[in-house]
Structure 1
Amino acid sequence: MSVAIVSDGKYGHRAYEVIKKKFPCEYIILKYRGNFDDIEIEEEILKKLKDYHILITYLRDPDLTYTLLEEISNQKLDKNPFIIVGIWEGEGFKRQVEKFKNVVCPDLLCNLDEDYLQDKLEEYPQLREFLRYFGKPKVNIYLSNNIIEKIEVIRDSPCGGVSKTLKEFLGERMDENTLKRIGLRVQHFCNTGRFRLFSEKECKKVKVGQILLEGINVKKEE
């Protein structure tokens, strides 16, 4: 199973560094010419992208994103790669691009799990493999005398923010304040507030903290 991070060069580097530890992964800067309705993506890049099982896009131009999705959809392939759109603007755009059956625009990449993708898993089994390691966090925290002795990250966020956050808490005493600090600290490692291009009712970074805390399973010594 292989993954390509498709970027305009600004974002996606951290996801590439994390995902390549589990899957063959490449960081690809999308080369194109033109703008708006006249965008032309280099043919060699389009041919290259068809060989990957999953594409994760970090493109700030919505016209470029749509053109890429359309070009891949129009290729005559036995099975198109599944595309996760990491940067998108507005619910209208989301509805438009999710008409492509091989595309999903999650509110957060760390909110992807089997429930979120349930109508895609049968046709795109590579998603199950991806979700073994990345998506909505799954974490076991093991305590000894109420001290965090071991942390097992079963499923990390694609950016690696969950692992980076939790390793700072090894050896600390577990209580409600510690959990609160974990939820706040993960926001420091989260990029979503930087590349969300539209205003939202719920702060994405706050939601990232909530998602992590929901995924933590504390195991006390018997």
Structure 2
Amino acid sequence: MLKIIVVSDGIYGDRTYNTVKTEFETEFIQLEPPNDQLIDDEIEIPEITLNKLKEANIIISYVLHIDLVHEIVKKVHSYVDWIIVASWKGEGFKNQIKYDNVVFPYIMCDIEENGNPIFDEFAVKFGKPKVNLDISTNGELNDIKVVRSSLCGATFFVADFIKEKYKNKSIDIDKLPQEAGFKVQHYPCRAQKLRLFSKENQKELASTYHKEAFEKI
């Protein structure tokens, strides 16, 4: 079984940990961010923490402090299969870290398989939302199976809401995707509202992905 480590130096990562641990061996590591007043000092990560990180197949980083992200990647990238940097800002930062096994998703519910067996074993379960709808011949909702959930667990939240509302009731298939996309905003989604490089902002994209998931019957 894959070993996943979620690492954070702030308030993010807890929901990913709680979601991913339902499928894989998962550990959550909370780090103290460096003191910026001591910026000239070398950033130190406890040896016991480094050893734990090196044992992972996949590290998911919600570390916000740029220098700490650099240090983690530098120290452990050659020991692990993949590092997914979930929290990052700006192409300049991303371009400073160039390793084949380090990825920077624009948004965490954008992750899909990439052809690597280790990565795909993870990405088939978590990333871009995917659901199967079981609709009876008379148009009633029998069930919803979450095939792949966003890492934050929002896909399960939306599916549970739709099932509770429409279970064994007639359902408007044309309106369902829009309702699903709207409901994910009530999770609440922590994706950013800021537009980055003229792309659809992350909150809109999370909504769009869940809307599209419920369009595929």
Shift of 1:218: 4.7
- Deviations 1:127-147 (Å, cap 9, x if unpaired)? 111022111112111212223
Q: Counterpart of 2:96 in 1: which secondary structure? A: helix
The alignment's TM-score, normalised by the length of structure 1, stands at 0.84
- The one-letter amino acid of 2:89's match is E
Residue 46 of structure 2 corresponds to residue 46 of structure 1: no
Distance 1:199 1:137, change over 3 A: closer
Partner residue of 1:142 out of 134, 139, 142: 134
In 1: Cα distance, 2:94 partner to 2:180 partner: 31
Shift of 1:92: 1.1
Shift of 1:32: 6.2
- Deviations 1:44-64 (Å, cap 9, x if unpaired)? 111111001000011111111
Q: Comparing 33-42 with 146-155, which one deviates more in the overlay?
A: 33-42
Distance 1:28 1:96, change over 3 A: same
8 Å Cα contact 2:13-2:62 kept in structure 1: yes
In 2: Cα distance, 1:64 partner to 1:165 partner: 34
In 1: Cα distance, 2:155 partner to 2:186 partner: 11
Q: Counterpart of 1:11 in 2: which secondary structure? A: coil
| Map of 2:107 onto structure 1 | 108
Q: Which residues of structure 2 form unaligned runs of 5+?
A: none
In 1: Cα distance, 2:8 partner to 2:33 partner: 12
- The one-letter amino acid of 1:109's match is M
| Map of 1:93 onto structure 2 | 93
Shift of 1:175: 3.3
In 2: Cα distance, 1:218 partner to 1:47 partner: 43
Shift of 1:96: 1.8
In 2: Cα distance, 1:204 partner to 1:83 partner: 21
- Deviations 1:167-215 (Å, cap 9, x if unpaired)? 111216123333211111112222112xx8x652322111111112223
Structure 1 runs (4+) greater than 3 angstroms displaced: 31-37, 216-219
8 Å Cα contact 1:31-1:41 kept in structure 2: no
- The one-letter amino acid of 2:20's match is I
Residue 173 of structure 2 corresponds to residue 180 of structure 1: no
The alignment's TM-score, normalised by the length of structure 2, stands at 0.85
- RMSD between aligned alpha carbons? 2.0
| Map of 1:204 onto structure 2 | 202
- The one-letter amino acid of 2:106's match is D
Partner residue of 1:58 out of 29, 43, 62: 62
| Map of 2:125 onto structure 1 | 133
